[in-house]
Amino acid sequence: MTSKQPTATKHSVSTTTITPPTLARWAGLAAMAAGIIFIFVQMIHPPEVLSSVTTSTWAVVHYLTIAMCLLGLIGMTGLYVRQARAVGWLGLLGYAMFSLFLALTMTLVFAEAFILPLLATETPKFVEGFLGIVSGVTSEVDLGSLPTLGMLAGVFYMFGGVLFGTAIFRARILPRWAGFVLAFGTVLPLLLPHAIVRLAAVPVGLGLAWLGFALWSERQQPATEPRLDQNSLQFRQAE
Structural domain spans, the chain: 20-218
* Tens of pLDDT, residue by residue, the chain (239 residues): 455 555 444 444 445 577 888 899 999 999 999 999 999 999 999 999 999 999 999 999 999 999 999 999 999 999 999 999 999 999 999 999 999 999 999 999 999 999 999 999 999 999 999 998 887 777 778 888 999 999 999 999 999 999 999 999 999 999 999 999 999 999 999 988 877 888 999 999 999 999 999 999 986 544 333 444 444 444 444 44
What's the pLDDT score for residue 228?
A: 43
What's the pLDDT score for residue 193?
A: 86
What's the pLDDT score for residue 20?
A: 82
What is the rounded (10 degree) CA torsion for 78, 81, 83, 85? 170
Residue 216 neighbours by CB distance under 10 Å: 18
CA distance 26 to 19: 11
pTM of the model: 0.83
Backbone angles phi, psi at 13, to 5 degrees: -105, 120
